Structures are given as structure tokens and as C-alpha cells.
Amino acid sequence: MSTLQFDKIALIGIGLIGSSIARAVKLKGLAREVAISSRSRETLARAEELGLGTLYCEEARDCVRDADLVIVSVPVGASGAVAEEIAASLKPGAILTDVGSTKASVISQMLPHVPEGVHFIPGHPIAGTEHSGPDAGFADLFEGRWCILTPVEGSQAEPIARLRHFWETLGSKVEEMDPAHHDKVLAIVSHLPHIIAYNIVGTAADLETVTESEVIKYSASGFRDFTRLASSDPTMWRDVCLHNKDAILEMLARFSEDLAYLQRAIRWGEGDKLFDLFTRTRAVRRSIIEAGQDTAAPDFGRHIKSTP
Ligand code: NAP
């Protein structure tokens, strides 16, 4: 049993990530009060039906009043507007963090609004699924996953340590990183794979020589695994592309070069080159399993667990 860490936690945005945090906080008893706000009344009402918090606010500014920890879990493109809205209501000494998938852009949007005396410590839990909304969350989403904190200039050690401890209690392993470096790393491990998946699924859907029923019928041959990524939330991924533009374009350029190399090897029948690459990539998969970041199960261990 964990102990109380904050008197009041405010969750702005209660989709997959916000509601997973809410469930974990409740399960572990980490706050006396959990105030929730969401852009729409429908989502807020659903959060209340699910019993995710103790207080439900239509306005984000009401939600953050007296909160010791404020977690913004909205699409990255909306983080500046949210910061502007809540700024004047933040309690001096409060920790303000976010979970956005891009960091430099979130910092440039939010930081100008952060009042003196509020500890702004951006964050990003490297955990998620292709589902969204308050029903999609689950308490052990962060169990065994990394959470990256990207403190800004002037961030103090004590609030960073408190936030680190919070994520560790949720089951995460925590690392601190420079925001620009985070954006580069995530461009290759997360953003590029999603863009490639969106592209492949789009190409297959456009192919006129193959019917839609054939694409679905024979999908287990590889296509299916891309469709999981390509079914991720369109708003979230539009924002990620627009807000990590430079790093993504750099990785896409590298990817295109490597694809051209593969194309040549196939054209000229250079089997050795193909075999060498496919052997190297197989080893990458093995090291991911060894690092505990996935399982060798046929469903890739992604069946959602049934914790409350
Ligand atoms: P989600 O399930 O779609 O939930 C989004 C939440 O943000 C909802 O409460 C939604 O409110 C609210 N929202 C949407 N647009 C908004 C806007 N323009 N202004 C204010 N609020 C808005 O999203 P999520 O998957 O939890 O993602 C939230 C954040 O976590 C994103 O920044 C994403 O990059 C990051 N993240 C996601 C994953 C993942 O795998 N999904 C992993 C790590 C980090 P309504 O429903 O009321 O409209």
C-alpha cells in the first residue's frame, strides 16, 4: 500500500493517459482529492460515471485551484491554450507537469504562461495503446515503462524528486533528458513507426488491384500489425507531426535513404545485403524482449489487463 503523496491532484484531460493516471492514483491512494476537467461535458460525465476522481469541473481553471500537482494530458497542440487558461489559478508551490509526446514545443507553448513560484516539470510517459478516451485507461499502463522528465532551466531538485517518486509509484522507471534530445529519440522510436504505419495502411487502402476484402482477409501476413499503430488517435498524431516537425523530417530523410538502399538490393538481387539487414533487425527485437519492453507472445503482450 502506497502513502498519500499530494493533498490534491488536478487532471486536465481525462483520456487514455489522464484516466490511467486517475485509476492508478485511486488504487494506490496517492491523493486525498482528485479533481478532473475535460474539454467536453460528455467526457467529463463519463469520467464521473467511472468514478475516476472526487471532483469534476467544467472549467480547467476551477480544477487546478489549491492543487499541489497539476497534470495536463491533452493533445500537444492544445497545451499552450490550457496553460494560459489555468495560469492565474495555479497555487504557488504547485508542480505543473504534462504527458505530451513532444517536449520542445510543449515547453515553448506552456512556459511563457507559468507563474513565478510554480514548478513546471514537463514529462512524457512512454506507455500507451491505440485506444483513446476515459474508458481506455487502466491502472497498470505505466507498470515497467519509462517516463521521461525534461526539466526546464531553473527547475528545482525537490519538486523534480517528488514528481519522479510519483511516477515510480505508478510503476515507471524515470529518466531525465534534454527536451530536444527527447524529441529526436522519440522521432525514431515512436513518431516514425506511426507515420510509416499510417502510410502503409493508406497505400494498401488505395491499391486498386487488390480488393478491400483481400486486404482484410490476408492481413495476418504482416499488414495487421501496422493497422494497430495506424488506428491511433488522429488528433494526437496530427499534433505530434506538426509539433516535432524538424526531428521527424530528419528521421524521414534517413529512412528514405535506407529504403532506397533496400530497393537497390532487391532490384539487383543482392541477397547478402538483405539477409544481413534482416539478421540485424531480428537482434533488435530480441533485445527489446530482453529489456522487458515487450513479450514474445503472439499478441505482443498487448492484451489490455483488467485492473480497475
Ligand atoms: P485522449 O484519450 O484522446 O484524451 C484527450 C483528452 O484531451 C480528453 O480529455 C479531451 O477532452 C482533451 N482534449 C482534446 N482536445 C483538446 C483541446 N483542443 N483542448 C483541451 N482539451 C482537449 O488522448 P491521450 O491518448 O490520453 O493523449 C493525451 C496526451 O498524452 C497527448 O499529448 C499525447 O501526445 C500524450 N501521450 C499519449 C500516449 C498514447 O499512446 N495515447 C502515450 C504517451 C503520451 P474531450 O474528450 O472532452 O474532448
Segment 87-114, tens digit of pLDDT: 999 999 999 999 999 999 999 999 999 9
State the pLDDT at residue 216.
Answer: 85
**6-177 is a CATH 3.40.50.720 domain:** yes
Pairing of strands 146-149, 123-125: antiparallel
Nearest atom, ligand 1, residue 133 CA: 2
Atom 35 of ligand 1, nearest CA residue: 100
pLDDT over threshold 70, residue 307: no
What mean pLDDT value characterizes the chain? 94
pLDDT (tens digit per residue) in 143-189: 999 999 999 998 999 999 999 999 999 999 999 999 999 999 999 99
Kindly provide the b/e burial profile for residues 58-78, where b requires at least 16 CB atoms within 10 angstroms of the residue's own CB: eebbebbbebbbbbbbbbbbb
Pairing of strands 119-120, 55-57: unpaired
> Residues 6 or more apart from 110 whose CB is under 8 A from it?
72, 79, 80, 82, 83, 96, 98, 120, 122
Residue 255 one-letter amino acid: F
Report the candidate in 57, 106, 60, 53 with the shortest Cα–Cα distance to residue 87: 60
pLDDT over threshold 90, residue 297: no
Going from the Cα of 130 to the center of ligand 1, the distance in angstroms, rounded, reads 12
Q: Regarding predicted confidence, which is higher, 113 or 288?
A: 113
Going from the Cα of 46 to the center of ligand 1, the distance in angstroms, rounded, reads 15
In angstroms, the CA 295 to CA 14 distance is: 28
In angstroms, the CA 18 to CA 9 distance is: 11
- Enumerate the domain spans of the chain: 6-177, 181-290
**Residue carrying the nine cell digits 489559478:** 89
pLDDT over threshold 90, residue 1: no
Atom 40 of ligand 1, nearest CA residue: 128
pLDDT over threshold 50, residue 306: no
181-290: what CATH class? mainly alpha
Mean pLDDT of 248-259: 97
State the pLDDT at residue 298.
Answer: 59
Q: E strands along 61-151, which residues? A: 69-72, 95-98, 119-120, 123-125, 146-149
pLDDT (tens digit per residue) in 25-71: 999 999 999 999 999 999 999 999 999 999 999 999 999 999 999 99
Going from the Cα of 92 to the center of ligand 1, the distance in angstroms, rounded, reads 26
> Residues 6 or more apart from 136 whose CB is under 8 A from it?
15, 16, 19, 129
Mean pLDDT of 243-248: 98
Going from the Cα of 128 to the center of ligand 1, the distance in angstroms, rounded, reads 11
Q: Which residues line ligand 1 (CB under 6 A)?
A: 13-18, 38-40, 43, 73-76, 78, 82, 99-101, 124-125, 128, 132-133, 233, 236
